[in-house]
Structure 1
Amino acid sequence: MGILATERLVVRDWTADPADLTRLFDIYSRPEVARWLGAPGLPLTDPAQAADRLAMWRERHADHGGRYGTWAIEVRDAGVVAGTVLLKPLPGRDERVPTDDIEVGWHLHPDSWGHGYATEAARALVARELATGTREVYAVVAPGNEASMAVARRLGMSHVGRRTDWYGGESLETFVLTAATDEVVPPPLR
């Protein structure tokens, strides 16, 4: 069972199951995905790196009690992992130091682009996070990544321009959803 369920999706932990690791490698070895992420070690070049990436995510979120994480987005009907959705404290200018700002993000396999999966999964996570009392959730997007900017807008997020507060000072398009506005994301579907 996943951490969240929507009408079409289950947001669940990535596992060390060979099928999950194969799909993780398939997603993160693709230049068309990795080019927007700016993460060290991407694109993956060896299938064994998928297990290393999973271990890194688990270690990063170990102290968060399941509130934050990097999860698989599984399409209920097909049982296929469409990609990844994440919710976590944004790393600051010193990337080893997390800030109090919360980020939602998504990385989908190209075969899952255009189906609304990123929006649906992110909407569920954002709703859950805002229900905890968090006032703002951010999405940071590499300049030029129009598809991810469109997802942020579909979530009701406001574009606030480029900011350099996070990820070592990288200039990123920044979107925010503030709980106090009329644009609060509706609760996830069950």
Structure 2
Amino acid sequence: MELLCTGRLRLRAWTAADADLARLADIYGRDEVTRWLGGPPTVTPAELVERWLLVHELNAVHGCWAIDPLDGDAPAGTVLLKPLPDGVGEVEVGWHLHPDSWGRGYATEAARAVVDRAFDDGLLEVFAVVRPGNEPSLAVCRRLGMQPLGRTSRWYGRELEAFRLDAPES
């Protein structure tokens, strides 16, 4: 299921295909990725795919999608747009990329695409939360034009840098 395309990327649902599951295991099995996420997932890649499909089924604007470079490379990682835990209708955008895809602008391009789509669908604001010290993700927030809100422990039970982006006025 394709979500949308950008100039260089196709965003689509992760699947239970062997290639997708292997790539998810590779991404989320790397310390250089999971140290910024609070550790590796506690579920299998197949369970991640099921969980992410449910997020989308509950609200078609939300989801966690594969970032496929149009040049045919393996999925660069995941872009997500989902409710924040313990939030009151608050939605976060996030990105988890494989190290072999870092530094190419994929996180910014994919995040911009899902945020723009969400705003087109009526969402009024989007948040991002980043672990302190994760300079590449902090830079993505800045490139997206997100407003820094400072550090908070409101979500995920740990201190995070919070950002907000408001929908453009019509």
Write the mapping of 1:17-166 to structure 2, written as runs, cut at 5 A.
17-38=17-38, 42=40, 49-64=44-59, 66-92=60-86, 99-166=88-155
* 1:84-103, Cα deviation, whole Å (9 max, x unpaired): 000011111xxxxx531110
Query: Runs of 4+ in structure 1 displaced over 4 angstroms?
Result: none
Cα separation, 2, equivalents of 1:17 and 1:107: 19
Q: Percent identity?
A: 55
Please, which of 156, 162, 165 is the counterpart of residue 174 of structure 1?
162
* 1:141-173, Cα deviation, whole Å (9 max, x unpaired): 0111111000010111111101222223x2110
Question: What letter matches 2:156 in structure 1?
Answer: Y
Asked whether the equivalents of residues 142 and 172 of structure 1 are also in contact (C-alpha less than 8 Å), the reply is yes
Structure 1 residues without counterparts, runs of 5 or longer: 93-97, 185-190
Q: Please tell me whether residue 4 in structure 1 is matched to residue 17 in structure 2.
A: no
Cα separation, 1, equivalents of 2:26 and 2:11: 19
Asked whether the equivalents of residues 73 and 121 of structure 1 are also in contact (C-alpha less than 8 Å), the reply is yes
Cα separation, 2, equivalents of 1:60 and 1:120: 22
Question: What letter matches 2:71 in structure 1?
Answer: D
TM-score (norm 1): 0.83
Q: Aligned-residue CA RMSD in angstroms?
A: 1.9
Question: What letter matches 1:57 in structure 2?
Answer: W
TM-score (norm 2): 0.92
Query: How many residue pairs are counted as aligned between the two chains?
Result: 170
Shift in Å, 1:61: 3.7
* 1:26-61, Cα deviation, whole Å (9 max, x unpaired): 00000000000125xx167xxx92112222322344
Cα separation, 2, equivalents of 1:57 and 1:134: 20
RCO comparison, higher one (Cα < 8 Å, 6+): 1
Cα separation, 2, equivalents of 1:164 and 1:22: 33
| DSSP-derived class of the 1:167 partner | coil
Cα separation, 1, equivalents of 2:53 and 2:71: 27
